[in-house]
Amino acid sequence: EATPCSPYPALPAFPAEEVCDLTARNDGFPWYCGRPGKKELTCSDYVSARKIDYPSFLPLTEAEEQLIEITESKRPFLIPNDIELDVKPLPGPVELTRRLPTLPCNRRDLNETFSETDQFGYLYNHSWRPFACRLPQVDAGFLQQCLKDTQILYLGDSNTRLQMDLLTPQVNCKNKIARARSTWHAPLWCDNDRLNISVKYFPPMHPFYGSIGELLKPEVLSSEVSKIDAVPARGKFIVHLHHFLHFMPFHLALAEQRLKAVRAAVKRLLARNPQVFVVYQSAFASYDRSPKNKHKLNAMLVEIQRTVMRGLGPRVMFVQALPIMVALENKSGHPKESDQFLALYMGHICGRK
């Protein structure tokens, strides 16, 4: 039997006494489902959740119909890409209005990354360069040297997993838990035994907006708080966190609540392990024309992420992803240029003491 589930305790057509409180099974994050109608089933028989198909008809008002029509048919408003600029230098010496940075990024105060504006860098030959510091060449040799004897935890949605997908070929690690075709969101794990590098990925607990038809069982989801609290007091760790598209169908108060719990766990981790670094990758930008566009509130979510996660000290970095994707004119929910994020945070962390 299938019943509706929600992070809110009020479920349509289910009185309060007919709502199953599954918060404990969701590692303390709010999760409620309707009580099954079959007498043989109880709340304890909950096994999985999936996204329902979109209804074929919605009783929309005239204004709501017009909003959807604008989204689907009267966009995009894009400047044609046939513009060419001919730039010629002036004769004689030219004084740069902004000098190139000389400070290596691994010597920069990471607290500064929480104060970066949308103009914190620029694209040069399709690579992002920050104004505040000089990034190294982040390649396979650089990463293998940097990450020797290090465990990397990626905690978040499929764009978090994309960061793992970009890193693992560079460090030549072998799968211990490989991706299953039948499950899009599930834990992954690979190791490089020679260099003692371990890379793991864990998708978060509900509310987690899975793919259409995907059954999300509790055993494949993991609380970021539990995973962070499980990091030991010794050993080199990098913890990467990202929340975006799977949170957008819900009220932003839920994202803020989740982030506050994550912040408390990160604070405990920093006090416990002096060798850990934490990276928080913000929401990004994508030109999405679909009526179920989940990118519209990205700027608001970025500010919530920045506000909640700042002030944790010099071992926590904020990756301001939104302006990078704007500059690259990204149109994908899984940007192919996500290697820009990897180069940015590894260029800041590697070699830092």
pLDDT digits (tens, 9 = 90+) for 272-328: 999 999 999 999 888 765 555 556 678 889 999 999 999 999 999 999 999 999 888
- Do both 10 and 149 map to the same domain? no
State whether 41 and 136 are in the same domain: no
341 with 198, same domain: the answer is yes
Determine the pLDDT at residue 173.
Answer: 94
Note the pTM of the prediction, 2 decimals. 0.86
162 and 269 co-located in one domain: yes
* Between 17 and 53, residue with greater pLDDT: 17
Note whether 151 and 300 are same-domain residues.
yes
How many CA atoms lie within 13 Å of 201's alpha carbon, on the beta-carbon side? 26
Mean pLDDT of the chain: 87
For residue 189, what are the β-bridge partners?
Answer: 177, 200
Report d(CA 198, CA 189) in Å as an integer: 7
Residue 187 lies in a domain: yes
Question: 137 and 238: one domain?
Answer: yes
pLDDT at 53 over 80: no
* Same-domain check for residues 299 and 173: yes
Specify the pLDDT at position 179: 72
Confidence (pLDDT) at 98: 72
Neighbours of 165 (CB within 10 A): 16
pLDDT at residue 83 is higher than 70: yes
Whether residues 24 and 127 share a domain: the answer is no
Q: Please, which pLDDT band fits residue 208 given cuts at 50, 70 and 90?
A: confident
| Domain contains 10 | yes
Q: CA-to-CA distance for 136 and 75, rounded, in angstroms?
A: 39
| CATH number assigned to the domain comprising residue 184 | 3.40.50
Q: Is the pLDDT of residue 260 over 80?
A: yes
Q: Do 144 and 235 belong to one domain?
A: yes
- Contact, 197 vs 171, CB < 8 A? yes
Q: Does residue 7 have a cis peptide bond before it, meaning omega lies within 30 degrees of 0?
A: no
pLDDT computed for residue 27 by the predictor: 85
- With a cut of 70, say whether residue 219 has pLDDT above it: yes
Given a contact cutoff of 8 angstroms between Cβ atoms, the answer to whether 24 and 43 are in contact is no
User: Is residue 26 domain-resident?
Assistant: yes
In this predicted structure, which of 1-10, 212-221, 225-234 has the lowest mean pLDDT? Answer: 212-221
In sequence order, the β-bridge partners of residue 33 are: 5, 20
Domain that holds residue 40: 5-45
Q: Does residue 41 sit in the same domain as residue 128?
A: no
Average pLDDT, integer, range 157-166: 92
Helix axes 252-272, 298-309, angle to 10 degrees: 30
Amino acid residing at 155: L
Q: Is the pLDDT of residue 76 over 90?
A: no
Within-domain flag for 213: yes
109-122 average pLDDT score? 92
| Half-sphere exposure in the Cβ direction for 40 (13 Å, CA) | 1
What phi, psi does 341 have (nearest 5°)? -70, -45
Task: Look at residue 98 and tell me if it is in a domain.
Answer: no
Contact 284, 335 (CB under 8 A): yes
3-state secondary structure at position 332:
coil
Q: Are 301 and 318 in contact (CB under 8 A)?
A: no
Q: How much is the pLDDT for 182?
A: 56
Mean pLDDT of 178-183: 65
Q: Please, what is the Cα angle at 310 between 221 and 100, to 5 degrees?
A: 110
Examine the pLDDT at 56 and tell me if it is beyond 60: no
Residue 190 sits in the same domain as residue 286: yes
110/38 same-domain check? no
**Ramachandran quadrant class, 312 (left: phi over 0; alpha: psi -120 to 50; beta: rest):** alpha
- Rounded to the nearest 10°, the torsion over CA 303, 285, 277, 143 is -160
Taking only the tens place, the pLDDT of each residue in 132-158 is 999 999 999 999 999 999 999 999 988
Task: Give yes or no for a contact between 60 and 283, defined as CB atoms under 8 angstroms apart.
Answer: no
So what's the pLDDT on residue 313? 96
Please state the domain count of the chain.
2
In single-letter form, the type of residue at position 247 comes to F
CA 330 to chain centre: 16
Secondary structure class of 32 (helix, strand, coil): strand
- For residue 229, pLDDT over 70 is answered with yes
